[in-house]
Amino acid sequence: MTVQAWLDSERNYEVGRQLYEQLGDNARLKQVLGHGPSTYNQEALAWELGKLAKAGVTAAVALAVPLPAVLVESATESLPSEPAKDFRADIARGALLIPLGQARRLLYDERTQLHAQLEVLAEHGSQEDVRLLAVRIMALSRELNANWKTDAYVREHGQLPPPPAAAPGLDTLSPVELVKKRNSLRSQVSKLKKRPDRAADLAQAQTDLGVVEALLRDE
């Protein structure tokens, strides 16, 4: 199995670990991955193999046995011809998946750096420093989980998931409060547009802003 084939499959942990054992260059990570498929190890494995695939590594697992050339040629000759595939849906899906993957890489990079800092702080830092760093790591993990859920939705449906429902209680605000809320939400949306890792928060803010603006128009 190639790295890309593994990424496109159900991502069996042991097969992926063998791939990285053969193709990866981080001895420390190989040792960590050998401890089993924890949540962190699964994410780290997928992230590292994704980088190898991007670099063009296509080697197969050593245990895989290639088919004889005669059988490959025979199987190829017997394949029925298929009509040309319309790739427009795949292109549209890819346009959504690429920024999700880019945001995921930034999140993984930050979390990896913070994990390294946490080991140092655990020995030399204060409890408050350790707590704040752990809180941020947990927040990054939640953002990664949300990112992966969005990724899975896009792969299945070919579009982003619907935005969350607007926050309740907006229709109870006075006109003055609505204007303040609108200005606050506009500022929030502007900032969140620069944070692709917070797509869910952006969708919520945009939904709330739309409700507030509609309420102001009705005044």
Q: Per-residue pLDDT tens for 91-131?
A: 888 888 888 888 889 999 998 988 888 888 888 878 888 88
Q: Say if residues 26 and 56 touch (Cβ distance below 8 Å).
A: no
d(C-alpha 201, C-alpha 111), whole Å: 20
Residue 73 to residues 1, 19, 40, 68, 179: CA-CA distances in angstroms? 19, 27, 42, 9, 70
Residue with tokens 């290639």: 66
- pLDDT tens-digit profile of 72-90? 444 445 445 555 555 777 7
d(C-alpha 104, C-alpha 90), whole Å: 20
Read off the pLDDT band of 10 (50, 70, 90): confident
- pLDDT tens-digit profile of 13-59? 888 888 888 888 888 888 888 888 887 788 888 888 888 888 775 44
- pLDDT value, residue 219: 62
- pLDDT value, residue 116: 86
Residue with tokens 């800092």: 117
In the DSSP assignment, the letter for residue 158 is S
- pLDDT value, residue 184: 92
- pLDDT at position 170 over 60: yes
Q: Say if residues 126 and 184 touch (Cβ distance below 8 Å).
A: no
Q: What percent of the chain has pLDDT over 70?
A: 82
- pLDDT value, residue 67: 40
d(C-alpha 45, C-alpha 186), whole Å: 39
- pLDDT value, residue 186: 93
- pLDDT value, residue 187: 93
- pLDDT value, residue 83: 58
What six digits make up the tokens of 27?
A: 């001895």
Q: 198 Cβ partners below 8 Å, 6+ apart?
A: 143, 192
Q: 49 Cβ partners below 8 Å, 6+ apart?
A: 3, 6, 7, 16, 19, 20
- pLDDT at position 4 over 90: no
d(C-alpha 45, C-alpha 179), whole Å: 48
Indicate whether this model's pTM tops 0.85: no
